[in-house]
Amino acid sequence: MGELSGKRALVTGASRGVGFGIAKAFAAAGAEVVATARNAAALENLQREIAAAGGRVAIVPGDLSTREGAREVARRSGEIDVLVNNAALVTGAQHSLLAEDDAAWDLEFAVNLTAPVTLIQALVPGMAQRGAGVVINISSIAVQRPNPMHAAYAASKAALETITRAAAIDLAPRGVRLNAVALGMTATEAWDDLLPKGFTLEEMGRRVAPIGRATTVAEVAALCLYLAGDAAAAITGTVLTIDGGATAGVYTPG
């Protein structure tokens, strides 16, 4: 029996990167996965991979940039035991807060903050009624070390961490745990548009992380799997950082 046997887990932003890896890890642990993202073709690829490995997955293409879209994803997902709010957006444009575009600011907050809150509001009451449930909100070390050119992203993730703590206190007596996982540089294609010109992911990993490399998707998925399972029953209302030591203190690469 897997660690998540008998559980249904909704993973947002599951079409690629971290969400793709979490969905596969949860399915391998016995969960029935519900995977959502905008890219239906990529979700179908995930479905084929999980099915080939003997896992169970349902795909729910959807757009989390509006409350209505998030509510529709929740409605189509059905009863959920584990919610992983992974979908996030950071605009490729880098500019000062003073030059922030209204539409870009609103979109980042809609996807990074409003969508997770909407899914929590829609799905957690059922968890609380059953007396058990887990929410994992994927955050970022940008909360601790914000890039001044991506203020909206950092601010939205900071708000998500606060929501995580507040809701954890509220829901702990009802058997629902909420935690956040703050990612550092993680080896995914999402970094393609964010790396400084001329730098590779491997080089940046050596420069920013004391372990000398970027975190892998498998490592993030393993942490989320632990938080979703019974072994983490006493862990709620916290933010666990997985960044290779990048935020531990001053680091000068050798």
Q: What pLDDT is recorded for position 94?
A: 67
Range of the domain at 231: 8-242
| 247 occurs within a structural domain | no
Q: What pLDDT is recorded for position 1?
A: 56
CA distance 224 to 242: 11
| 252 occurs within a structural domain | no
Is 251 a known active-site residue?
no
Is 24 a known active-site residue?
no
pTM over 0.85: yes
Residues of the chain with pLDDT under 70: 1, 92-94, 192-193
Of 44, 42, 41, 22, residue with least CA distance to 33: 22
Q: Which of 7, 153, 197, 226 is catalytic?
A: 153
CATH code for position 122: 3.40.50.720
pLDDT one-digit tens code per residue, 25-83: 999 999 999 999 999 999 999 999 999 999 999 999 999 999 999 999 999 999 999 99
Nearest 5 degrees, angle CA 241-CA 89-CA 73?
Answer: 100
Number of domains in the chain: 1
Q: What pLDDT is recorded for position 93?
A: 64
Residue with tokens 């400084």: 196
Q: What pLDDT is recorded for position 193?
A: 67
Q: What pLDDT is recorded for position 92?
A: 61
CA distance 37 to 69: 11
| 107 occurs within a structural domain | yes
Cβ atoms within 10 Å of 36's Cβ, excluding its own: 30
The dihedral built from the CA positions of residue 121, 126, 128 and 133, taken in this order, carries a sign that is negative
Q: Report the length, in residues, of the chain.
A: 254
Q: What pLDDT is recorded for position 176?
A: 98
Nearest 5 degrees, angle CA 111-CA 148-CA 165?
Answer: 50
Q: What pLDDT is recorded for position 132?
A: 98
Q: What pLDDT is recorded for position 197?
A: 76
Q: What pLDDT is recorded for position 169?
A: 98
Q: Which of 157, 197, 226, 251 is catalytic?
A: 157
Amino acid at 122: A
Token pair recorded at residue 223: 């942490």
Between the two ends of the chain, the Cα-to-Cα distance in Å is 45
- 117-137 core/surface letters (b: 16 or more CB in 10 A; e: else): bbbbebbbeebeeeebbbbbb
| 122 occurs within a structural domain | yes
| 19 occurs within a structural domain | yes
